[in-house]
Amino acid sequence: MRIIVGVTGATGVEMSYYLLKALRSTKDCEIHLVVSQGALTTWQLESRIPLQDLYDLADYVYKETNLSAVISSGSYMTDGMIVMPCSMKTLAGIVSGYAENLIQRAADVCLKENRKVVLVPREMPLGRIHLKNLNMAAEYGCAIVPPMLTFYNGASTLEDQIHHVVGKVLLQFGLSYDKFVAWKGDVVS
């Protein structure tokens, strides 16, 4: 499996670290990472994890300005892309086809090649323009997986909540995650 991960400047950048750890534990998963300039700034403000630890989990790391990277071409086969977190600026670029950086270009390529694109939008509250853009992204084939709080899984820490979101994202690619607690529900007999 070959997955592109874009990390943008929205709050919650540390979720991407957990995502890459989960992908790294997946057998035969090649990770292509793009971290935006905004994400670099947000990482410094929000995380105590050294940024190099994130980079070390990826097989390939690209600058967002590198529009000649292999992942900017549809002829380079991937299984899709995850943008986690996805800023509203990046969302707007994706839905308008304005591929000004490698994250937006890679998403554009995945969409045109009918590959999976999973967006993890981080904004609250969502304005009308955000909702319109999220709806358009869904119409274009993106899976929208906002990092919503979940209580049915017994999560008692922030890390438990992050594991849940990562698990929901990975389910979009048919991947299981050992730290994800699925809804058990009632068994009807």
80 is an annotated ligand-binding site residue: no
41 is an annotated ligand-binding site residue: no
88 is an annotated ligand-binding site residue: yes
Contacts 24+ apart (CB under 8 A), 160-167: 162/14, 162/15, 162/18, 163/18, 165/15, 165/120, 166/15, 166/18, 166/19, 166/22, 167/22
Beta strands in the chain (DSSP E): 2-7, 30-35, 60-63, 80-86, 116-121, 143-144
112 is an annotated ligand-binding site residue: no
10 is an annotated ligand-binding site residue: yes
9 is an annotated ligand-binding site residue: yes
89 is an annotated ligand-binding site residue: yes
99 is an annotated ligand-binding site residue: no
65 is an annotated ligand-binding site residue: no
42 is an annotated ligand-binding site residue: no
84 is an annotated ligand-binding site residue: no
Annotated binding site for dimethylallyl phosphate: 152, 168
Annotated binding site for FMN: 9-11, 36, 87-90, 122
Annotated binding site: 9-11, 36, 87-90, 122, 152, 168
